[in-house]
Structure 1
């Protein structure tokens, strides 16, 4: 019973990491849903598909009896590489059990899936707190805050395109100079990876309410409750009641927003009279922290008391590992961002010294990058890369999809999940995870 199965070739040197020697390429059939489950689970566990199939066939052949029938309707072509002789043994076992090869292979793959369950999402013991900041406006802090949060909240049982290189920024510079990278290892390579599956809260801490509006929500009314009122010790209700979900199939119920209110323009004035004002944001968010794995704060472009409160909130807490929480600095590849960066880091370091805080930098994100702008852009990117500490952890291109997502008031990763900016946001989320 070959069921349209043929040996395609026997290639020397096609060794699996799990097994040395030759492998034989075989072609069979699998239903699409089972092939997709296999692809996702193998990616989740960091296992090659050929290794998973090899193990599944071994499990199947070792069974004392045939497992339950798998629905193979709509099965189509599926190929993989197996150790020499395994396929012949498998065919003989299937013949002895009077099971078609297509059914036997489906049972073997299903058996492997059952023996290798999906890993649980690794949730931090202390909720991570990420503050996206820069004193200069217009650098795209809001887009980076939203994109990072969206990438962290994507479904852990679905594959998404992710840029996997740690050398992408260097590759951009080489391209702009007309150089080519190492042909054996493409620094701009993209792979399908499972979503991170974390529960994320985006906090719009900017009185301009850009994050709130970009994600399709209305700023909170001035005469109602708001984060500002909670920080000032004048709450009109529970902060949890202000939080709204962000729609998107890939986010499930994991992505939420705490909208802003224009009353945040008055926050610095209100904080001036508040006890321990640096801790005001932390006191306000404390009741809802346990509901989330990650809290991302989109900071205002200022260096006032509100920024002090944000920096304090992002400090490293007792028993928290370094680099879990901290400041994610968003810049552009131009000179004014460098001046603003110096002002911001001075404020962060002064606050850390004054209050004996450990404030980690999660890295620098170069946003709105476009090498076609020539020397100004490329030389600025190179200057950011030369800083080293904190290092550049992401480069996001200046492309139309982000602007379109803002126009239609949808999350970028829901609006255009495969665009270059979305791929870059996923890389950024993993780089700082």
Structure 2
């Protein structure tokens, strides 16, 4: 009958084409070539005003995967909860934090940088003090551009800077978007997470129009995907319909290994190196490099 589907069987004389969760043909992204020199860094803000969608997990895991491929990576904990710092086993209560830099208590950005246990991956930590930053910065001149000023001295030290934003669209997130060259949106494969993406994209467009004409959407990353549930599959299908090629081909599945790695204070790429989630973040790193979002 016309209109019937072929249930995925290849027609005679044609090779079957394997498709991934996004409905597009599966691709293997090549292992990137080593860099002969480092910098200047491209700044990527990881944003979503909804909490619990995988922003911090993605910042840690993507940063570690890029470091494995020889990139020099700096991650910025820009959330007062300090989950990024904790997830990398960094003490955020003894020493300088991003809060000290934003308020000008410390002028030398490099003094706030801490090394992690992952070679090539550094962090500027945060703690609950950061929750007071918006109150202090609200009357500052060019208040939306303070993070950009803070990061300027270390741009030549790194290939990529990842900013883990808090789950809101307040002044801190606007600072991250104003400083960034690109935005990566982790999106949980769940209906209520989907609803907020349009608002976030609208905010990015406003920042592009008024504060940062160079900013661009590097991609939407589907996280916490469970192929066994119809809901996950339908949400991912709707995201692809709405945003097309902006949706990254890499999809990160749901697993208990992420909280286990966080408790251990180490990225999943080293905590469970051969786990499918670790492989997914290495693929994400390769995909972003191939797309030109990372050198």
TM over 0.5: yes
Question: How much has 1:44 moved relative to structure 2?
Answer: 7.2
Q: Are residue 377 (structure 1) and residue 206 (structure 2) matched?
A: no
Q: Are residue 227 (structure 1) and residue 98 (structure 2) matched?
A: yes
Q: Secondary structure at the match of 1:131?
A: strand
Contact (CA 8 Å) 1:128, 1:294: kept in 2 or not? yes
Q: TM-score if structure 2 supplies the norm length?
A: 0.82
Q: Identify if the C-alpha distance between structure 1 residues 408 and 231 changes in structure 2 by more than 3 Å, giving closer, same or farther.
A: same
Contact (CA 8 Å) 2:39, 2:158: kept in 1 or not? no
Q: Secondary structure at the match of 1:273?
A: coil
Tell me what 1:162 maps to.
Answer: none
Tell me what 1:290 maps to.
Answer: 156
Structure 2, unaligned stretches of length 5 or more? 1-29, 290-295
Aligned residues: CA RMSD? 1.9
Q: Are residue 259 (structure 1) and residue 125 (structure 2) matched?
A: yes
Within-5 A mapping of 1:296-375: 296-315=162-181, 326-355=182-211, 357-372=213-228, 374-375=229-230
User: Deviation string for 1:238-264 (max 9, x for gaps)?
Assistant: 33122111114xx3xx11111112111
User: Deviation string for 1:98-147 (max 9, x for gaps)?
Assistant: xxxxxxxxxxxxxxxxxxxxx65155653111111100000010000111
Tell me what 1:426 maps to.
Answer: 282
Within-5 A mapping of 1:267-282: 267-282=133-148
Equivalences, count: 259
Contact (CA 8 Å) 1:202, 1:258: kept in 2 or not? yes
Within-5 A mapping of 1:14-163: 120-121=34-35, 123=37, 126-154=40-68
For 2:148 and 2:67, the matched residues in 1 are separated by: 22
Contact (CA 8 Å) 1:393, 1:432: kept in 2 or not? no
Q: Identify if the C-alpha distance between structure 1 residues 126 and 239 changes in structure 2 by more than 3 Å, giving closer, same or farther.
A: closer
For 2:163 and 2:176, the matched residues in 1 are separated by: 8
For 2:107 and 2:42, the matched residues in 1 are separated by: 25
Tell me what 2:81 maps to.
Answer: 208
Question: How much has 1:226 moved relative to structure 2?
Answer: 2.7
For 1:431 and 1:122, the matched residues in 2 are separated by: 20
Contact (CA 8 Å) 1:225, 1:237: kept in 2 or not? no
Larger radius of gyration: 1
Contact (CA 8 Å) 1:133, 1:298: kept in 2 or not? yes
Tell me what 2:114 maps to.
Answer: 244
Q: Secondary structure at the match of 1:328?
A: strand
For 2:43 and 2:257, the matched residues in 1 are separated by: 27
